[in-house]
Amino acid sequence: MGVTVESDVWEPNPALCLFFFISCCLSIYYLPNSSRSSAIFGDAPSSSFIRFQRSFLLLYSLSSVMEGLLAVFGEYELAYHGIGREQMVISLCIGYSAALFVGTFLGMLSDLIGQRKVSLLFCLLHLLVAIWRRVTGHPSVWLASICLSLASTIFFFNFETWMVIEHDKLEHGQDSVNDMFWLMTFVESASFIGSQVLGNWLIGGHEKTSLLAPSSAVVIMAFGALAYVSRGWKEDPKSIILKDYQTKFRTYILGDKKVWLLSWTQTTIHFSIAVFWITWAPTFVADGREVLLGLVYPCVLGAKMLGSTAFSWFFSVTLSLRTEDCLVYACLVMGFVTSIVAFDYQDVEILLMLFCTFHACVGLVLPSLARLRTMYVPNELRGGMMSLSIAPSNALMLFLLIQRGFYQNIENSTIIAMAALGLFSAAGCMYMLKRLGKQPHQNWHKL
């Protein structure tokens, strides 16, 4: 008599994605300030400001899709070509080493030579990796890890800095800048989901013939982004010299306690997100069941999109909530959620709920931190401050990858617990920042 073994494959309820989609639409449609809503989506009279918003968000979404395609399907390509676990760990270590020893200084370079040239470098890095994969037909671990890590670092600080500087040039108020902060988080998450859909459609289940199709798509998008940045982006020449920049950086960044608190908070947020994306897959399959991770991915990003739309609600005129207070509560929630996961919780449904809660908080925290940077950091030093703030996170991730990947001296649950402790410390930093910031916030737009 034959024995039939039924495979237990778990997948999230499709209604969850529909819930996030409808919730995001309703949250945006019923924004507390209807005048700002109309200004964002183009109902206001045409102006240079509206044109800038549309062109910027188009370029940003295009860059986000490139980030998503080569990050997600780059790992899939490595696995398809038989790259083993040890080589995967090596590629991650190479990437974090490049981000630590080179990417840390790219923000300062952006402040000195301008965001336009660094954006060109971002496009060229993606173009180089995509062309290499398309021509050789086989991924290069060293080349891809270094280039994509540097590109991700540029993506983190350069577009935000450019957007804030352009808003100052157009002399628009802080409300419009705040709207762009949450829109950037929203568009980034939506573009990552779109990159997954595009990649699945390009591959179409025929790996041997279509595996290189995502790289071809990146080549086309990179050329389009290069054309826009080189011809459609007008930037004023930088007049600051290195000696003056160093003096200002020591005074306004290294010598300001409030910026130190803000930087540590950014470090812990960046570290917790990095820990999540490295450990989420093994955490989901820890109970032995097969999980369709490709369906979990859009759920957590949908939660992040919903969290970003909550930014305008929390900082509306009716609520009048201070940014530091919001970050204290959000970091505490993220810390508690991460602590539960660290205790080796294996129920898949509960894990999905916890991960969605975590990313909803991330969607709220990222634009909130950007808002605080606008209050405390001069625009001409913003890129350097942002790239320097994530250096401790990259160093710690590199150390933990070596300890976990090569020596097996630490468990995933311990790494997640460290992320939880960092988030609790971030809540304390935001509380201290509120105490130090009782005086009126500095306005660097007037310097």
* DSSP string for 290-337: EE-HHHHHHHHHHHHHHHHHHHHHHTSTTT---HHHHHHHHHHHHHHH
Residues 344-394 pLDDT 10s: 777 888 899 999 999 999 999 999 999 999 999 999 999 999 999 999 999
Per-residue pLDDT, 75: 65
Per-residue pLDDT, 381: 94
Element (H, E) at 9: strand 9-10
d(CA 254, CA 231): 36
Distances (CA, A) of 420 to 56, 180, 263, 272, 365: 35, 29, 17, 7, 15
Higher pLDDT, 120 or 12: 120
| Mean local confidence (pLDDT), 10-24 | 87
Per-residue pLDDT, 258: 94
252 pLDDT band (50/70/90 cuts)?
A: very high
Residue 281 and residue 293 in contact, taking contact as beta carbons nearer than 8 Å = yes
| Mean local confidence (pLDDT), 409-428 | 94
pLDDT tops 70 at residue 38: no
Per-residue pLDDT, 208: 54
339 pLDDT band (50/70/90 cuts)?
A: very high
**Angle at the Cα of 243 from the Cα atoms of 240 and 249, rounded to 5 degrees:** 80
pLDDT tops 90 at residue 79: no
Cα R_g (the chain), whole angstroms: 22
Residues 137-162 pLDDT 10s: 666 778 889 999 999 999 999 999 99
Higher pLDDT, 336 or 44: 336
d(CA 370, CA 373): 5
What's the predicted TM-score (pTM) here?
Answer: 0.91
At 377, list the tokens: 């950091």
Per-residue pLDDT, 317: 55
d(CA 7, CA 244): 65
Q: Which of 71-85, 178-192, 255-269, 392-406 has the lowest mean pLDDT?
A: 71-85
| Mean local confidence (pLDDT), 198-214 | 69
pLDDT tops 50 at residue 22: yes
